[in-house]
Amino acid sequence: MDFIYKIPTHMDFEGQARAEKLSRVIITLFGFVGLVWGYIIQQFSQTVYILGAGFVLAALLTIPPWPLYRKKPLNWQKAKGETETVSSGDSAKKTKKKN
Amino acid sequence: MHSILQRGNAILAYTLSVLACLTFVCFASTVLLNYRTHADLNTVKVVVYVVLWDKIILRGENAVLDFKNMNTKYYFWDDGNGLKGNNNITLTLSWNIIPNAGLLPNIFAHGSHSFQFPVDYTTSRM
């Protein structure tokens, strides 16, 4: 079951911006097209359905963390943490013992 | 926007905003429509409207109405006075169009029919 935890589920910083921008463009576009079509055939329900289709499409494209949104990862510095100091302490002890 | 729920929330909220905007545009489009309206106002006499018959026609249903020898759906109820001996009973046809969002226009058809009510009640059907 370990492979489940290895599936990457994050978006990087730029990916989040792209996802939000893409979702807004899709929903706005579908809303506008739906309004025009609904006005032509004089049925507002069609406008709502087309907007709903845009919502579903935007949800499919931007909610799951697709690899597309993981292209520019932030390179964090390596952790300096305790491991280094502990290891140096150990080496100091070892040197003492050797002496 | 980092987690799935945050993105879903953002998309849903934005969709609802767009839906509100579209609903307002739909409303505005019905305001701009110029139905032929016919104001039937009389500043001297009081005009009372009574609905005698109505019919609901849904979208797509046959809107060509051809009726003969019908009875009224709602009767001329005489609630004390006003009907007996009234010499100006005018029948008109009007209709509403109910939009999903927008104004409710009341449109009067061309033509009308006027008649008088007798002074006395009849005891048998005429």
List, for residues B51-107, the tens digit of each pLDDT value.
Answer: 888 899 998 898 888 888 888 888 877 777 777 888 888 888 888 888 888 888 888
Confidence of residue A83 (pLDDT cuts 50, 70, 90): low
The reply to whether B15 and B70 lie within a common domain is no
B108 has which bridge partners?
A: B94
Domain of B17?
A: 1-32
Residue A74, token pair as written in the block: 């932030």
Dump pLDDT digits (tens) for B16-37. Answer: 999 999 999 988 888 877 665 5
- Chain B hits for A11, CB-CB cut-off 8 Å, are 1-2
Picking from B79, B29, B13, the residue whose alpha carbon sits closest to that of residue A42 is B29
* Tokens, residue B24: 């307002």
Largest interatomic CA distance in chain B? 83
**B16 with B50, same domain?**
no
- Neighbouring CB atoms inside 10 A of B67's CB total 7
The nearest CA of chain B is from the CA of A75 a distance in Å of 17
What does A33-57 look like in DSSP terms, one character per residue?
HHHHHHHHHT-HHHHHHHHHHHHHH
Q: Do B99 and A44 touch (CB under 8 A)?
A: yes
Nearest to A51 among B22, B25, B29 (CB): B22
pLDDT band at A93 (very low <50, low <70, confident <90, very high): very low
My answer on whether B25 and B87 are in the same domain is no
Same domain assignment for residues B71 and B104: yes
pLDDT in tens, B100-121: 888 888 888 888 888 888 888 7
Same domain, B50 and B112: yes
The Cα of A2 is separated from the nearest Cα of chain B by a number of Å equal to: 21
Nearest to A35 among B1, B22, B59 (CB): B22
pLDDT for position B30: 83
Same domain, B14 and B53: no
C-alpha neighbours within 13 Å on the C-beta side of residue B75:
3
Same domain, B48 and B7: no
Cβ contact, residue pair A31, B22, below 8 Å: yes
pLDDT for residue A94 is more than 70:
no
- On whether both B62 and B86 belong to a single domain, the answer is yes
Confidence of residue B45 (pLDDT cuts 50, 70, 90): low
Interface contact A31-B21, CB threshold 8 A: yes
Complex prediction ipTM: 0.71
Compare A12 and A26 and report the one with higher pLDDT: A26
Count residue pairs from A and B with Cβ separation < 8 A. Answer: 64
Q: How many domains does chain B have?
A: 2
Q: Minimal Cα distance from A31: which residue of B?
A: B18
Q: Are residues B16 and B51 in the same domain?
A: no
pLDDT of amino acid B39 = 56
Query: Model pTM?
Result: 0.68
**Same-domain pairing of B57 and B73:** yes
Residues of chain B found within 8 Å of residue A18, distances taken between Cβ atoms:
none
Which residues of chain A make contact with B12, given a CB cutoff of 8 A?
Answer: 55
Q: B16 at the A interface (CB within 8 A)? A: no
Over 80: is that where the pLDDT of B1 sits? Answer: no
Q: Are residues B67 and B121 in the same domain?
A: yes
- B98 touches A at CB < 8 Å: no
Please tell me the predicted confidence (pLDDT) of residue A22: 94
Asked if B44 and B27 sit in the same domain, the reply is no
How many alpha carbons fall within 13 Å on the CB side of residue A55?
18
A8 contacts on B by Cβ (under 8 Å):
none
Q: For position B18, what pLDDT does the model report?
A: 96
Greatest mean pLDDT range, A24-33, B39-48, B61-70, B96-105: A24-33
